Amino acid sequence: MTIEMFEKPLGMRDDFPVIAKQKANLRNQGTELIEQAGYELLQTPTLEYYETIGRISAISDDALFKLLDSQGKTLVLRPDMTSPIARVAASKLLREKMPIRLGYYSNVFRAQKREGGRPAEFEQMGVELIGDDSLYADAEVISLAWDILKQVGVGSARIVVGHTRLLELILADFGLDSEQSSKVRELFVAKNGVGVEQLSRELPISSNKLASFLALMQATTVADWKQWINDENEEQIKLYHDMERLEELFKRNGLGDAITFDISFSSHMTYYTGLVFECYGAGSGFPLGSGGRYDGLMEQFGLQVGATGFGLRVDRLLESVSPEKIEEPQTLILFDEQSEQRAFEKAQQMRASGKRVTLQYAPAVQALEPFTDLFTEVIRGEALDNG
Amino acid sequence: MTIEMFEKPLGMRDDFPVIAKQKANLRNQGTELIEQAGYELLQTPTLEYYETIGRISAISDDALFKLLDSQGKTLVLRPDMTSPIARVAASKLLREKMPIRLGYYSNVFRAQKREGGRPAEFEQMGVELIGDDSLYADAEVISLAWDILKQVGVGSARIVVGHTRLLELILADFGLDSEQSSKVRELFVAKNGVGVEQLSRELPISSNKLASFLALMQATTVADWKQWINDENEEQIKLYHDMERLEELFKRNGLGDAITFDISFSSHMTYYTGLVFECYGAGSGFPLGSGGRYDGLMEQFGLQVGATGFGLRVDRLLESVSPEKIEEPQTLILFDEQSEQRAFEKAQQMRASGKRVTLQYAPAVQALEPFTDLFTEVIRGEALDNG
């Protein structure tokens, strides 16, 4: 046998009680906010057909865990929650209730090729708002993501907002064809400024516009975006006004300082079609989550409606939340044959008042001292007898 | 494409919001009791090596979901939680803290061969108490299972208790060899009284003992077991006294009437070695859960300690709990451009007082009437403007 008994598959982790507890707290706080905002929580199965969810997902094929079922069909472990929720939302039961607000807290899976500390299974918490094409829907999901970041205690939380469609229109105005545009956006995703500068020399951009093109990566407010808006393009004007309105809403609601409007911001998630965003916080070098508008995905399920949403990664949220050292009081009551009944009654009484109480038959403990050291309070049955 | 976009793999289900909510309630109630009794909750990965967890599990090989990882090793979707918890408990971090109390709420997987309504993924909630060989450990886990059944509101809850080792000794006293004994126990598991009677004619049981043998399936109290206890066998006497003590504890703690002591009770879970039990309730033809003592499993991970525990099936608990029709109040605030700010402020204020409030930009709703019908209260932004 080449596998040791204690080994786990690549990228798989045990959540020991301290972590499991912290996650449960995040889950409770996050899902409560999600429900209060009118979202219904649901749970989809771990396994889905590759033909439906696997193909549609924005996750690359080699990161999917695949297996065959007893009928020879290919299954996948769900790589994200957006496509399964789209499947559910498009079902008969829900499609007539648009706009639909659905939320989730679920584990998702990404196959890893080698050791590198990247998890192959992690939890996401998020929402999808389906069937509302207004900018208010986008504002709602960003505000909700923000509320969760604040509620769970993420330090230095920030949100970066971009707009896939507006960027596409602006790049076209610089004279780029779709292939050139897509190369530029790849470098934007990688935040590769040097690469953009190098590439710009090969692009058909007139020299008097070069400085303006290179400035795309510097924008931080909606006012900054104004310089690229084509006054003769109605779609650009409409989208720009939407962004102004959005910035106004965020400022009014107290998010103003925490939001960067970066017109060059792009996502590697290819299904986004409109507003896109990513969340950051202290303590994690990676985005804590991301979201945006995806108006094409629902079509795959036969629905001509837009949708917007976000997903936060629970493992990264944990890194970003200052770990409160909660010394949780935990009582041990040690008993023997004689004191059993009183010990039991004492435990019942303490638990009824909300305390955590471990009842332990003392003779069954091999090493009493290390065991009792695990508790904040130790009560001996004999003491209860005398009491 | 032979698979429809809405299809899910065999035995896989979506939990729509009502069910997801009921499960969340069960989870919260159950895990709170588990924690109050001093158990630490943990979470193990969905995927494990077949060589470690797959082989050890009591679940038959053809019910395992198997897949290959990128190194060509066989993985399984965890079929139960007992073996993964044994793996964790035997790790360095925990093995010196015996007795260890661990709890979980997790989904597990069983591959299905054909349509038949049997779920291929379902949730279990349970505990393992590892490193305590006393009867008090068995009493503790049965009482905890009972407390959960009562807390979540299972109607007509019952627990059936047997003892694998004592039954083995008694069957040996009837002159059965291990093969005959195992045949009898298979019929006991199936509760096949006719089969036991037929088989008894072929067994080497003396005619004056036949009535006593057939009475094994009739016992309901520990006193009933007395007739089969061999006065010259010290192990039997010890185990019988343990059972008397157990019955006494249960009576004192209010479980007396709900427990049947059935000496013929056996489990198809082959790793049980001592006390075994199953939980029943109104509304479900299947056991709601089961548990018992398994002293051999920890040895597979290099630990010479006993363990006892249980797992409850959440799907069956749901069937057994009278569904409370909780009409949860849910407010809709419809707004337009003009009333947006007041609508937002009203929603913030209502949510802060714990209410669920959906904020919706009215012009984005295609069919207003079916949508507003989903809410218990509808507030229009205009009304707020006038207020």
Q: Is B372 at the interface with chain A, CB within 8 A? A: no
Q: Does the pLDDT value for residue B96 go beyond 80?
A: no
Q: B interface mutation test: which of A31, A49, A81, A333 has the most B CBs within 10 A?
A: A49
- On average, the pLDDT of chain A sits at 92
**Would residue A170 be called left, alpha or beta, if left means φ above 0 and alpha means ψ between -120 and 50 degrees?**
alpha
Tokens of B15: 């939990």
**B73: nearest CA in chain A?**
A9
Q: Which of helix, strand or coil describes residue A207?
A: helix
Q: How confident is the model at residue B172 (pLDDT cuts 50, 70, 90)?
A: very high
Nearest CB partner across the interface for A356, out of B7, B38, B120: B38
Q: Is A67 at the interface with chain B, CB within 8 A? A: yes
CB A363 within 8 A of CB A337: no
A360: which chain B residues are within 8 Å (Cβ-Cβ)? 99, 132
Q: Is A377 at the interface with chain B, CB within 8 A? A: no
Beta-sheet strand order (sheet of B331-335): B357-361, B331-335, B377-380
For B98-131, the pLDDT digits (tens) are 999 999 999 999 998 877 778 999 999 999 999 9
Look-up: residue for tokens 């299954």? A75
Q: How confident is the model at residue B302 (pLDDT cuts 50, 70, 90)?
A: confident
Q: How confident is the model at residue A94 (pLDDT cuts 50, 70, 90)?
A: confident
Radius of gyration of chain A (CA): 26
- Asked if B137 and A364 come within 8 Å (Cβ–Cβ), the reply is yes
pLDDT given for residue A59 in this prediction: 86
Q: What is the DSSP letter of A39?
A: P
Nearest CB partner across the interface for B43, out of A20, A44, A344: A20
- On average, the pLDDT of chain B sits at 92
B9: which chain A residues are within 8 Å (Cβ-Cβ)? 45, 47-49, 69, 73, 75
pLDDT given for residue B1 in this prediction: 43
Residue A363 main-chain phi, psi, to 5 deg: -60, -15
Nearest CB partner across the interface for A364, out of B15, B134, B360: B134
Q: Is A328 at the interface with chain B, CB within 8 A? A: no
For B263-298, the pLDDT digits (tens) are 999 887 777 889 999 999 988 889 999 999 998 888
Measured CA to CA in angstroms, residue A276 lies from A26, A56, A101, A185, B206 at distances of 24, 19, 18, 13, 82
Tokens of A183: 């190369």
Range with lowest mean pLDDT among A326-330, B117-121, B231-235: A326-330
pLDDT given for residue A243 in this prediction: 97
Q: Does the pLDDT value for residue A232 go beyond 60?
A: yes
- Asked if B9 and A356 come within 8 Å (Cβ–Cβ), the reply is no
For A164-183, the pLDDT digits (tens) are 999 999 999 999 999 999 99
Handedness of CA A22, A28, A31, A33 (dihedral sign): negative
> Between β-strands A289-293 and A40-41, what pairing exists: parallel, antiparallel or unpaired?
unpaired
- Asked if A374 and B97 come within 8 Å (Cβ–Cβ), the reply is yes
Q: How confident is the model at residue A325 (pLDDT cuts 50, 70, 90)?
A: low
CA of A159, closest CA in chain B: separation in Å? 21
Range with lowest mean pLDDT among A319-333, B141-155, B238-252, B362-376: A319-333
Q: Does the pLDDT value for residue B329 go beyond 50?
A: yes
- Asked if B91 and A6 come within 8 Å (Cβ–Cβ), the reply is yes
The rounded distance, in Å, linking the Cα atoms of B57 and B80 is: 7
> B residues 24-63 near A, CB within 8 Å?
24, 31, 35-38, 40-49, 51-52
Closest CA to B253 of B157, B147, B152: B147
Q: Does the pLDDT value for residue A2 go beyond 70?
A: no
Once rounded to an integer, what is the mean pLDDT over residues B174-199?
Answer: 94
For A48-66, the pLDDT digits (tens) are 999 999 888 888 899 999 9
pLDDT given for residue B3 in this prediction: 66
- CB-based burial of residue A204 (10 Å sphere; 0-12 exposed, 13-18 middle, 19+ buried)? exposed
- Asked if B301 and A9 come within 8 Å (Cβ–Cβ), the reply is no
| Cβ-proximal residues to A321 (8 Å cutoff; 6+ apart), any chain | A22, A26, A152, A153, A154, A155, A283
Q: Which of helix, strand or coil describes residue B152?
A: helix
Report the percentage of chain A scoring pLDDT > 90.
75
Q: How confident is the model at residue A1 (pLDDT cuts 50, 70, 90)?
A: very low
Report the percentage of chain A scoring pLDDT > 70.
97
